[in-house]
Amino acid sequence: MQHTPFDLQLLNACAAILLLLSFAMLAQRRIVALVNLLALQGAMLFIATMLLAWRTGQNHLYVSAALTLGLKVIALPWLLHMLIKRLNVQWDSEPLLNVPGTMLIGLVTVVFSFGLAQPIAELASTATRNSLGIAVAVILLAFITMITRRKAMSQVVGFLSMENGLFFGAMSATYGMPMIVEFGVALDVLVAMLVLGVFFFQIREQFDSLDLHNLESLKEDQ
């Protein structure tokens, strides 16, 4: 039986932890904890990118790792914590589905993700192609996190987690995107967070709450 290299075992462990963190986000209602889990996802992406850069010798992955550390582990979580503190938003309201139901849907989604990614993984030639199923699962679990939450802040965390899954999928399939694309995506995400921060304050001033269901009243009044 062929022995799996130790660095590849560490990469697989990072992928597994990334998936577990996505499940933890599904069950978490405290927004501060959601942001902390998002930062942990970024840390796992940073470690995985560093390991892949060391294994493949592709220097552009070191730049990707530095970008991940600065943006996903430090800048975005800090910005989200500042928004939480300024807006005084600590807990999400009752989700659309209860926790057991959400977790059951999450399990089915993971099985579906591995089946969906299997043909793509067979075409890829990278050492991390077996992690494509986990990348697809992280993306879909983040989507479930978005659609089952009422608070705007929780939905933004779900969106950022989805972006983490897309980044990990690109890294698993092709050893990362071109640097110009990665810098462009990083800039877009940062600008989107700044715009959403202004949007949060506007919602809070208008409705004294960040529950997006309040926006339905605007449609009813028209």
How much is the pTM?
0.79
Q: 161 and 146 in contact (C-beta within 8 Å)?
A: no
How does DSSP assign 197-219, residue by residue? HHHHHHHHHHHSS-BGGGGHHHH
Task: Tell me how crowded residue 189 is: count the other CB atoms within 10 A of its CB.
Answer: 17
Measure the CA–CA gap between 143 and 83, rounded to whole angstroms. 22
* pLDDT (0 to 100) of residue 164: 87
Q: Band of the pLDDT at 20, cuts 50, 70, 90?
A: very high
- For residues 8-31, average pLDDT: 87
* pLDDT (0 to 100) of residue 31: 83
pLDDT for 34-62, tens place per residue? 889 999 999 999 998 888 888 877 787 88
Q: Minimal CA–CA distance to 159: which of 209, 193, 134, 111?
A: 193
Task: Tell me how crowded residue 194 is: count the other CB atoms within 10 A of its CB.
Answer: 11
- Classify burial at 200, counting beta carbons within 10 Å of its beta carbon; exposed 0-12, middle 13-18, buried 19 or more: buried
pLDDT for 93-140, tens place per residue? 556 677 788 888 989 999 998 888 887 777 666 656 778 888 889 989
* pLDDT (0 to 100) of residue 218: 47
